[in-house]
């Protein structure tokens, strides 16, 4: 119920449905700049809820009381009037004076709602909650029930205020991300420091980052080492030490000495900017439950208005002592009870709360619909390298035939692998060291999924997996099955001369992730392009049910299709470019956002910012808890309203019970919805 806080360019209040207002405020909360948004009831843009100086008009710095002020004035006048009616009766407090007094108590809280009802009607939204409350309270005045008319609108107004505060709090986790992008950065030009707007920094600029400062753009660390707080991106506040040449991201906070960073990405293309855009757009992707309630409210509201008319008129045909005022009062009670506020407010807020709770933990959902889907996931299919393992390879052993010069062969392998960006090439380079510039390379070719081929010092050389050897019919005498590490075969002058073994360590929380998935009743499968026995070894170590290796990207797609053919829901977790097709195919695609490729992150429905596998079951649990809270609110709202509606139609419920059924239930639903923000996952 945001109608008191949505304004047009001239400062006039706008009218929207409750759900659209929540989404409007959600989008505005997520924007650092004072950008305009369009509300459903007008084509004019609404202002942000901040003054030009950046102060929040709704709260903070002693201004919170302003949104309570109309309710405070109304409450004071109502209490005073009730005292004059019942405790200290006065002869002057009758008739016209009494009516004017109660109208004065009604005006601060009632007129804004009536204005919104009129605005909605003018835009074709006839049956809104504003109209229900307006009819009910004006009707109460018409039959002389002044105190109840004021009380209903007063409690409705108080409910709106608390719901406004609840909406603001539910978005606090996401809004805090905006504070991680500094407006200005310090760049070095000719060894002179100069402050500029962050969005004006260019690729190639050198940023000087002091201790405690936040990085404004993605870049490459030029200093030897630096430690950063990465909580803005990962939800984890433990320091992350970077070395020269490594990537550092916007939003990271420098923890120690002055560091220098070379800008590699434009301000609007930084990973944090993309995170904010993804979360902001998440409100537009509605969950099925949310869409149902929205459609239901549009049908439900006109029906209850018709029923209220029938409650007033039909008894005239069947009741001997028909009293119009009595039956009108029952109809008004019925209208107040039937107001769908608890549903249209608490359900979107519940989903947004789930998105906020996930963001706080470094998990980004691209829409509330994925919270619903992930809550019912039956299978989690995962990649190995970079997902369940660190993705950082190290050479374990070098096994060469006895007649080979080890140093010479390694130098040639290192020179050839320097032409590749594959993690295996990086591991070999780190093991061997500097590339020998005297080695002559010709006709270098990278064969996807196999390895490298070239002329090295005038002779053919192959470096890759054993599928590469089979491709060129190279004989060998190695028992692959007995080796659980990744094997890199070496062929020189069309002869197999040995191999390297390379290992990738399992992530420290991978075991916890698998255990929690099993506890949730989720089946686990590992798919990888790595050697089958390596994949089986990792899967057996972690307790993953099914594992398949030696897979090309199209093979992964086929495996996922096999699972989906059983009518089972699938979430696929990956990080590489080759994972993008299968991420898109799955019911929920989950990308590892730290090491993950941009293509996979763009394709995914959920992004895990810190690459921790344990966030997979956490994401599922957040989805389950969000769905649970939403359905609790639906059951609470329908249950209480059904009971009080029946009592109201039968004359056994007064306006006071109606207020509880409307505002009271709405507040209980709101409190339940924001509860997810405090949960530990």
Catalytic residue (choose from 218, 240, 372, 383): 383
**How many angstroms separate the CA atoms of 228 and 459, rounded?**
47
Where are the strands (E) in 358-449, listed by range?
363-365, 379-382, 389-400, 441-447
CB neighbour list of residue 277: distance below 8 Å, 6 or more residues apart: none
CA distance 596 to 437: 32
Other CB atoms within 10 A of residue 404 CB: 15
The pairing of strands 184-189 and 192-197 is antiparallel
Secondary structure string (H, E, C) spanning 100-143 = HHHHHHHHHHHHHHHHHHHHHHHCCCCCCHHHHHHHHHHHHHHC
The Cα-based distances of 243 to 55, 246, 310, 610 in angstroms read 40, 6, 76, 18
From CA 586, how far away is CA 570, in angstroms rounded? 6
β-strand 206-209 against 219-221: which pairing, if any? unpaired
- What is the C-alpha to C-alpha distance for residues 195 and 170, in angstroms, rounded to an integer? 35
| Listed residue (345, 241, 331, 445) closest to 23, CA to CA | 345
Q: Give the whole-angstrom CA distance, residue 136 versus residue 339.
A: 10
* Bridge pairing between strands 219-221 and 247-248: antiparallel
662 is catalytic: no
Residue with tokens 């898109």: 584
Q: Within 10 A of 444 (CB to CB), how many other CB atoms are there? A: 16
- Residues with Cβ within 8 Å of 643's Cβ and at least 6 positions away in sequence, in order, are none
The residues assigned a catalytic role are 383
């Amino acid at each position: 119920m945001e109608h008191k806080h949505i304004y047009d360019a001239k400062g006039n209040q706008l009218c929207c449905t409750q759900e659209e207002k929540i989404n409007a405020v959600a989008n505005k909360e997520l924007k650092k700049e004072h950008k305009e948004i369009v509300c459903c009831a007008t084509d004019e843009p609404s202002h942000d809820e901040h003054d030009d100086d950046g102060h929040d008009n709704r709260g903070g710095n002693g201004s919170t009381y302003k949104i309570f002020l109309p309710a405070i004035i109304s409450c004071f006048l109502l209490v005073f009037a009730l005292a004059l009616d019942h405790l200290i009766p006065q002869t002057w407090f009758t008739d016209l004076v009494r009516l004017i007094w109660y109208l004065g108590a009604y005006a601060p809280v009632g007129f804004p709602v009536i204005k919104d009802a009129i605005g909605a009607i003018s835009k074709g939204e006839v049956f809104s909650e504003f109209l229900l409350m307006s009819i009910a309270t004006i009707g109460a005045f018409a039959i002389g029930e002044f105190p109840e008319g004021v009380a209903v609108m007063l409690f409705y107004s108080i409910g709106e205020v608390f719901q406004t505060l609840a909406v603001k709090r539910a978005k606090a986790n996401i809004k805090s991300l905006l504070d991680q992008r500094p407006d200005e950065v310090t760049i070095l030009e000719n060894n002179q420091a100069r402050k500029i707007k962050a969005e004006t920094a260019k690729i190639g600029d050198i940023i000087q980052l002091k201790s405690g400062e936040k990085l404004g753009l993605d870049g490459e660390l030029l200093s030897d080492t630096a430690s950063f707080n990465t909580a803005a991106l990962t939800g984890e506040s433990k320091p992350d030490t970077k070395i020269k040449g490594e990537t550092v991201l916007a939003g990271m906070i420098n923890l120690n000495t002055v560091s220098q960073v070379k800008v590699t990405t434009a301000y609007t293309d930084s990973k944090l900017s993309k995170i904010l855009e993804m979360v902001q757009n998440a409100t537009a992707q509605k969950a099925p439950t949310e869409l149902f309630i929205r459609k239901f409210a549009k049908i439900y509201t006109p029906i209850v208005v018709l029923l209220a008319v029938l409650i007033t008129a039909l008894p005239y045909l069947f009741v001997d002592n028909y009293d119009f005022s009595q039956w009108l009062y029952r109809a008004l009670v019925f209208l107040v009870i039937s107001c769908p506020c608890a549903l249209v407010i608490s359900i979107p807020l519940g989903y947004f709360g789930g998105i906020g709770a996930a963001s706080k933990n470094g998990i980004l959902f691209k829409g509330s619909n994925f919270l619903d889907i992930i809550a019912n996931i039956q299978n989690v299919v995962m990649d190995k390298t970079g997902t369940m393992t660190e993705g950082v390879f190290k050479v374990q052993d070098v096994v060469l035939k006895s007649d080979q010069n080890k140093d010479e062969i390694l130098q040639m392998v290192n020179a050839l692998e320097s032409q590749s960006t594959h993690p295996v090439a990086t591991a070999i380079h780190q093991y061997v060291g500097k590339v020998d510039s005297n080695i002559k390379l010709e006709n270098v070719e990278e064969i996807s999924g196999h390895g490298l081929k070239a002329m090295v010092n005038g002779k053919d050389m192959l470096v890759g997996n054993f599928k590469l050897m089979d491709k060129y019919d190279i004989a060998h005498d190695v028992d692959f099955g007995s080796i659980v590490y990744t094997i890199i075969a070496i062929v020189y002058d069309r002869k197999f001369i040995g191999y390297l073994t390379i290992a990738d360590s399992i992530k420290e929380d991978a075991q916890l992730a698998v255990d929690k998935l099993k506890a949730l009743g989720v089946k686990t499968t590992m798919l990888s392009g790595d050697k089958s026995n390596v994949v089986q070894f990792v899967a057996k170590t972690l307790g993953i049910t099914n594992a398949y290796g030696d897979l090309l990207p199209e093979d992964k797609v086929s495996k996922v299709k096999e699972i989906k053919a059983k009518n089972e829901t699938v979430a696929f977790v990956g990080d590489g470019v080759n994972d993008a097709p299968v991420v898109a195919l799955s019911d929920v695609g989950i990308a590892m956002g730290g090491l993950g490729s941009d293509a996979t992150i763009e394709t995914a429905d959920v992004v895990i910012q810190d690459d921790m596998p344990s966030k997979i079951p956490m994401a599922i649990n957040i989805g389950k808890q969000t769905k649970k809270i939403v359905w609790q609110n639906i059951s609470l709202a329908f249950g209480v309203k059904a009971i009080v509606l029946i009592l109201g139609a039968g004359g056994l419920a007064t306006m006071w019970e109606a207020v509880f059924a409307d505002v009271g239930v709405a507040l209980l639903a709101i409190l339940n919805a924001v509860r997810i923000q405090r949960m530990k996952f």
